[in-house]
Amino acid sequence: MVPAYSDLLKEADLVVPVSKHYHKGVYQIRNEWMVDHSSRVIAYYNGEPGGTKNTIDYAEKKGIEVITNNPKPTSIELDYYYLATRYK
């Protein structure tokens, strides 16, 4: 069973409303708040433009360390993985 949103809020250590209402820029405001209150950003980033890229760029502009992980490995990474596991 999936917990209700209100149940998740009760379990949170900190809840910070960034807007009283939804609007087009609310996710960017949320992301900037998270970066502004972080010492490091760990992003699961596929290389595509969008909110994750905007957040990475914002963090780098602020001098925050960014660690990324690409969920779509390149063919070179796959070839290396194949060779490394085949010839142990």
Question: What would the pLDDT profile of 29-56 be if each residue is shown by its tens digit?
Answer: 999 999 999 999 999 888 889 999 999 9
Q: What letter does residue 85 receive in the DSSP assignment?
A: H
- Confidence label for 79 from pLDDT (cuts 50, 70 and 90): low
- Flag whether pLDDT at 82 surpasses 60: no
- Flag whether pLDDT at 27 surpasses 50: yes
- Cα–Cα separations (whole angstroms), residue 25 to 38, 57, 61: 20, 16, 19
Asked if residue 59 lies in contact with residue 41, where contact means CB atoms within 8 angstroms, the answer is yes
